[in-house]
């Protein structure tokens, strides 16, 4: 059973997933394709002058009421016209970080230099700051550093991942990928069971299965200081597709929103990752922002939200020729 508010949120999430599919197909602004670089992620170059598409990303807006969201969600022609959004692709030459390629899961999926997370050296040790493929993402009403979008941790970057969790005082991690997809490890198993990772001792305090996702409460300890971290793991979202059932996804979005507003929650950014940290990660953040807009104003500006995300990180960027979207069935 869903409340009226839940049904409205379902509409916006359904619409966002349609946008997600279209953006993975690409737009007519993405004219030059490089299909040989990655086995799973197709990359495009943009021939439009940078000043033009940056202006578009900064100014595009189209607020939609609940009714208009429902109409737009099934109008693929509108999506094809309205969401031809420049990808804000990051070239390797723009990222002046020696040796960063060793820590990038995909060599063409790089963090935007202007918003990337920089890991400070622990305990004021001398030496240069450290690199992680992650970006700060603005939230509802442009709230700074509301989220961090990052790639899935690898064996040799999982220590950096937990350094970031500690440095940013994050208390929520949302994982929207399976451990292994298409015979490729997409995320190193970094928190189960209790173990020492880098400087930290990670203890699993509790884990419980819910419909479509798993919630795990952990304690991260450095020296004598302990902090609580809650880990959400959504397993029903395969790469290059969308969830077959929208209800568990809605419950995940609502539960994360409820938990972050609790008094005991840390003020640090919510950390979200999938495999590359651009597709499913971007859709989760956009869904959360859109739901907040709809609750408070009765409208959701999905176009503005996606543009804001692309200014912060190159999200919704892969091209994949999906032919249809899933059918949503609700029993009220």
List the catalytic residues: 274
Nearest one of 165, 175, 155, 181 to 221, comparing CA atoms: 165
Strand 225-234, strand 172-175: pairing: parallel
Residue with tokens 């930290």: 200
Distance of alpha carbon 244 from alpha carbon 238, whole angstroms? 9
Region for 159 from its dihedrals, namely left if φ exceeds 0, alpha if ψ lies in -120 to 50, beta otherwise:
alpha
Q: Where are the beta strands (DSSP E) in the chain?
A: 32-34, 43-45, 64-65, 116-119, 130-137, 147-150, 172-175, 180-181, 184-185, 195-197, 200-210, 213-222, 225-234, 270-273, 299-300
CA angle 225, 230, 235 (to 5 degrees): 145
> What three-state secondary structure class fits 53?
helix
- Count helices and strands (H / E) in the chain: 8, 15
Residue with tokens 């005082």: 169
User: Contact at 8 Å (CB) between 232 and 255?
Assistant: yes
User: Contact at 8 Å (CB) between 175 and 234?
Assistant: yes
Nearest one of 174, 221, 218 to 196, comparing CA atoms: 221
Report whether the peptide linkage leading into residue 193 is cis, meaning its omega lies within 30 degrees of zero. Answer: yes
Distance of alpha carbon 294 from alpha carbon 310, whole angstroms? 21
Distance of alpha carbon 146 from alpha carbon 115, whole angstroms? 12
């Amino acid at each position: 059973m869903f409340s009226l508010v839940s049904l409205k949120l379902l509409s916006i999430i359904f619409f966002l997933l349609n946008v997600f599919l279209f953006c993975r197909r690409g737009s007519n602004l993405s004219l030059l394709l490089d299909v040989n670089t990655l086995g799973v992620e197709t990359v495009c170059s943009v021939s439009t002058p940078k000043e033009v598409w940056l202006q578009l990303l900064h100014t595009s807006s189209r607020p939609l009421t609940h009714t208009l969201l429902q109409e737009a969600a099934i109008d693929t022609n509108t999506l094809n016209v309205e969401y031809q959004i420049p990808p804000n692709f990051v070239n390797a030459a723009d990222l002046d970080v020696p040796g960063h390629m060793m820590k990038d899961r995909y060599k063409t999926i790089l963090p935007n230099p202007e918003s990337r997370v920089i890991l400070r050296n622990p305990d004021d040790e001398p030496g240069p700051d450290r690199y992680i493929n992650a970006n700060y993402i603005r939230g509802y009403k442009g709230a700074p550093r509301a989220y961090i979008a990052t790639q899935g941790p690898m064996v040799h970057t999982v220590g950096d991942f937990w350094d970031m969790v500690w440095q940013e005082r994050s208390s929520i991690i949302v994982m929207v990928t399976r451990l292994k997809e298409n015979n490729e490890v997409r995320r190193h198993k970094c928190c189960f069971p209790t173990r020492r990772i880098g400087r930290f001792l990670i203890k699993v305090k509790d884990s419980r299965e819910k419909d479509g996702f798993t919630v795990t409460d952990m304690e991260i300890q450095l020296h004598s200081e302990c902090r609580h971290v809650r880990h959400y793991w959504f397993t029903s979202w395969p790469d290059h597709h969308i969830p077959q059932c929208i209800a568990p996804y809605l419950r995940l979005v609502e539960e994360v929103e409820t938990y972050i507003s609790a008094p005991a929650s840390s003020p640090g950014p919510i950390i979200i990752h999938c495999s590359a940290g651009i597709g499913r990660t971007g859709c989760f953040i956009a869904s959360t922002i859109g739901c907040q807009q709809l609750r408070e104003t009765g409208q959701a500006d999905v176009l503005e939200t996606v543009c804001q995300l692309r200014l912060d990180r190159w999200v919704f960027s892969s091209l994949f020729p999906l032919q249809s979207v899933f059918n949503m069935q609700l029993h009220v």
